[in-house]
Structures are given as structure tokens and as C-alpha cells.
Structure 1
């Protein structure tokens, strides 16, 4: 487990010892823990003196974005990109925050990419209160997700503009990968928007008026990304269906070609089999032109069958 803390007062952020941060007064204190298991819960219980009803959501294993009023503060869970390799079913790491007047405790179990951005903003003096810190996390998360979601849309645009029957398998893999990622992001973006909206409406003097405006803006941005992910998911389904139809059409064309070849050779096979029987009485068996005559008859039959297929528009379309 790692633990870091900052004391922010008068627009200036100072890194301090986490144990000293617990009892710091004046200004605003942020204590961040990175780790998992009982060791984090023990630190929060023994050193931060938080009650169990706050520690439980801060250390929960399975989490989704949400916001709940707890005592005189609020618990907020947000999801963002991670420096760790995560599964496609759970592609975003969580940051859990318990905020109250003058203090914020945050916990991460996986390395959150947005954490470094937030630390930079804190150290530049851009964070003055708990509301600013939560807004900083929400803004950093959406700023980092935005280009990834745009890339998903660009991938679909390329597939839609260049549908190629010769690259069906490659394009289907790209579309499927895009759809899986969109579904993974949507799973957390929709409740994240709701969590930010709910936080902005919670009563409490620890949230300033400008914090509520910034939270509303962050919620709107999350809502826009959620709508974009929904659009990507639906477009991916349509492109996948189109590629499936192209594949089915390819198979139909090939089956038709095979059937036509079989239909051309079927009467020829019957004729050559009939004339190839080793019995007496086969017409013109002793004539010198018999072989050429049979070949000519086969060519004529083949031409007639092909002409009939063309007239029926089964080939040559």
C-alpha cells in the first residue's frame, strides 16, 4: 500500500505526511491511498478514524460509479483509464472518494491514469476545496476517455467507407473489437453521469456554487460520451450485419457457380457414360468421325445449357 497527502491552503498545495494530514486543520487536506485488501481498511480505521460505513464503500471490490450522501459528506465512485492492463469486460479503474468539509479521502485499487493529472492540478494551485478535487478527477477522466471514444468512431467510419468483400474477416474482427470496447465503456459512463448529477444536487456547504456548476458541466460531458458510445454500439451492430450479408452473398454466388458447373457437366457425363458402355450396338462405333462427332455434340450441348442460363439471368449479371 502507498499513501500520499497534501495540505492545501491559500491556493498553495504542500505534500505532508499522511499521519500528520489526519489531524491537519485549516484549509483543505487530501489523503490518497493506493492498494487493496485489509491493509487499506486497517489504515483508514486505525489512523484516519473513519467509521465502517465509510470504509466499506472505499474498499469494496466490485464497484460501479455512484454517489451517496454519507453523514456530513458524500461518497463518490468514478471510473477512468488505468495504467494497468485490464480486461475488456472491466476496462476502467475506479477511484473512490469520501469528501466532507475540509477533507477528502480517496482510494484506488488499480493505477488510475487521471490521478497524475489531478496531482499536477493540485500542485499548481488549481484545487482549493473538496468540490474542486472531485471536479478535477471527473474532468481528467473525461478528457482522457474522449479521444479513445473518438477513435472508436473513426474505426467504424473507415469500415463503413471501405466495405470490401475481400476483407470481410479482417473488418468483422475490427468491428467486433470496437463494439466490445464500446459496451465496456458504456457500462460505466451511464452511471457515472448519474453520479455526477446527483453529487451536484446534494445539500451541504462543503460544495460551493461554482463546484456545482462544474459538476453539471462534467455530467453533461459524460452524458455526451455515453450517447456517443451508444451510437458507436448501434453502428457497429449495423456494420456487422452488413458484413454478414456480404459474406452470405459471396457464399450464394459461389454456390450458384458450383451448381452451374454441375448442371453443365451432368448431361455430358450421362452421354459419355452411355456411349462408353462395353456392349454391342452403339451407333457409329466403327466410323472414323465418331469421336469428333461426340465431342462436337458435347460442345453444342454445353453451349446450349450456358445460353439457357444466360437467358434466365442466372449468370452474366
Structure 2
């Protein structure tokens, strides 16, 4: 995983020696570290409370936040996995420790939102703050999820058009899309709730600029969740329409079988009656017996058909 280090007032990358001493200096700095490296743990323990460091480096995490009295905020979120060979819904966790002096972000693999924030920082013509960089990273997280959701929406639109035109078999693609949307919702909804809780609880503790950035990210996350829920509703509507079409075809088939059964029921009674192996049956010795029975069966079939047609059964 790439490692970034910047003095935020000059937007210059830090060299290896400067990265070790960056956290805790008076000059604002941003470090992006690999959370799997031991030196990352040692570096963080120098400058942040132990309980925040342990939470930031935990193996399994859910979206959460924690605020320390010294003004340090721990924020854990997840972004779309754009790494080659990975499923996008297998989201990458990013852990952020931020205060007015330092921003430290940690991840276990490459994250597109961090790379985009780094590129933007390199192109900036003026200094920036740790909170502003954090805001860029979080906005990029939401933007990446929104772009992925748009691609899924386009795929659903193609399936809807195909269904309206020729009604192909779409059960497997629909189930796969629903699974992917459910996986996204599993992470996005808790993040939206977490950001809402964070902005409500820290409204009086954070500076105005920091609070404004977090409120903006919360608003974007809310819109993303609404778009995701709308897309899931569209998937449900398409699946319901497919099930209704399948049920209608099945009902037509069953109705046709019922009509055929009703038509031939009198014939079955006649053949059963004349098939009895007992004495005294009519036309047993008559050479025209087969003709009379056939005429009887044809008459019953015709009468049954006329009755069904009169009752508008077909």
C-alpha cells in the first residue's frame, strides 16, 4: 500500500525521517499509514491516547466515532474497493485520527479516496487544514460509492429494458444485483447513522469549519442511502413483475389442463363403463357396437364443448 506524508501548509511530501517526527509537531501534517505495520502502532502511541490507537488498529471494525477531551476524533468508515481482482462491495476500511495539528489515516490496502485527496493536495496553491483534508477523503468515499451505485443502476436499466422487450430469463442477474445492493446497504446505512450521531453529539465541541465539513458528508451519505433504497425498490418491482409473469403463465397452463380434463371426463366414464368385463353389456355381440360407442363419445365431447363455450370458459 502507498504511504503518504505531507506538511499541510506547504503541501510538500515528507521524507522518511520527517514522517517519523511529523505526528505531534506544531506544523500540521497528514500521514497515511499501513495499519498492518508495527511501526504504525509505535508512531501512533507517541501522540494519541492508547484507547484510540487500539480502536483504530483493531482487526474487525464497524463504522464508529470516538472523541477525546484533547480534541482528537477517531473516525472509522469504509469505502468501495476499487483494487484489481476485488469485489467492489468488499469495502475497504479506513481509520482516521484527526485534530487541529495532525491527521493520520490508516488502511490495510489501497484506497482510491486517499489517492484522490493526495493528488488534490499536490495541486493546491494555498495551505489547508487537517479537517479540510479529512473532508476531501470522506467526500471521495461517498463519491466513489455513488459512482459504483450509478453503474449498478445502469445495469438494472438494461435488465428492465430487456424484460419489457423480450422477457428473457433474468432471475440469476437480479439475485446477484440484489445481493450486491444488500452488501452495500450493510455498510452505508450504519455510516449514515454514525455521522448523524457524531454531528449531533459534537455540535458544541467541534470548530465551525470541522462541523460544517462533517455535516456536508452526512448530507451526501444520506442522499446516497436514499438512492440505494430507491434502487432496491426498483429491483423488487422488477422481481415482482417477473414472478407475476411466471404465475400468469403457470395459471394459463393449469387452466388449459383443466379444460382438457373436463372435456375428456365424460369419455373416461364411457370407456370405463364399457370396459367392464361382465355379462350383459350392450352391443357386445353387435358388429356395429364400436360405431355406436364412438358416436356416443363424440356426442358427449361435443355437448361438453358447447356447454363450456356457452359458459365462456374458453
Give the TM-score of the pair, scaled to structure 1: 0.80
Q: How far, CA to CA, are the matches of 1:3 and 1:53 in structure 2? A: 26
Deviation at 1:133, TM superposition (A): 1.5
Question: Per-residue deviation at 1:279?
Answer: 4.6
Alpha carbons of 1:285 and 1:22: their partners in 2 closer, same or farther (altered >3 Å)? Answer: same
Q: Is the 8 A contact 1:189 1:223 kept in 2?
A: no
Residue 55 of structure 1 corresponds to which residue in structure 2?
53
- Give the Cα separation in 2 of the matches to 1:40 and 1:177: 41
After TM superposition, the structure 1 stretch with the greater mean CA deviation from structure 2, 279-288 or 54-63, is 279-288
Counterparts of residues 109-188 of structure 1 (less than 5 Å): 109-125=108-124, 128-159=128-159, 163=163, 167=167, 170-188=169-187
Q: Per-residue displacement from partner, 1:74-125 (whole Å, max 9, x unpaired)?
A: 111121111266679x632110010122211111124323232222223223
**Shift in Å, 1:130:** 0.9
Q: Contact 1:7/1:13 (CA < 8 Å) preserved in 2?
A: yes
Alignment pair present for 1:203 and 2:205? yes
How many angstroms apart in 2 are the aligned matches of 1:193 and 1:23? 35
Number of residue pairs matched by the alignment = 306
On the 8 A contact 2:35/2:57 being kept in 1, the answer is no
Give the superposed CA RMSD. 3.3
Q: Which string of whole-angstrom CA distances, capped at 9 and with x for unpartnered residues, describes residues 197-220 of structure 1?
A: 535846355xx73x5444333322
Q: CA deviation at 1:156?
A: 4.3
1:1-317 residue pairs with structure 2 within 5 A? 4-17=3-16, 19-24=17-22, 25=25, 27-36=27-36, 39=38, 42-44=41-43, 48-70=46-68, 71-82=70-81, 83=83, 91-125=90-124, 128-159=128-159, 163=163, 167=167, 170-196=169-195, 198=198, 201=203, 203-204=205-206, 209=209, 212-314=211-313, 316=314
Bigger CA drift: 132-141 or 178-187?
A: 178-187
Mapped partners of 2:152, 2:3: distance in 1? 35
1:311 and 1:113 mapped to 2: Cα distance? 71
**Structure 1: gaps (5+ residues):** none
Measure, in 2, the Cα distance between the counterparts of 1:233 and 1:272. Answer: 57
Q: Is the 8 A contact 2:8 2:129 kept in 1?
A: no
Cα 1:110–1:294, aligned 2, differ >3 Å: closer, same or farther? farther
* In 1, Cα distance between equivalents of 2:305 and 2:55: 75
| Structure 1 residues 287 and 204: CA distance shift in structure 2, 3 A | closer
The Cα offsets for residues 111-158 of structure 1, whole Å up to 9 and x where unpaired, read as 323232222223223772211211111121122211222233344445
Q: What is the CA–CA distance in structure 2 between the aligned matches of 1:35 and 1:68, rounded to whole Å?
A: 18
Question: Counterpart of 1:128 in 2: which secondary structure?
Answer: coil
With 94-103 and 212-221 compared, the bigger mean Cα shift is at 212-221
- My pick for the range that moved more, 261-270 or 272-281, is 272-281
Unaligned runs of 5+ in 2: none
Distance change (3 Å), C-alpha of 1:44 and 1:3: farther
Offset from partner CA, 1:13-68 (integer Å, 9 cap, x none): 22421x522323454322222243x836643456x554321211211222222332
TM-score by length of 2: 0.80
Counterpart secondary structure, 1:147 = helix
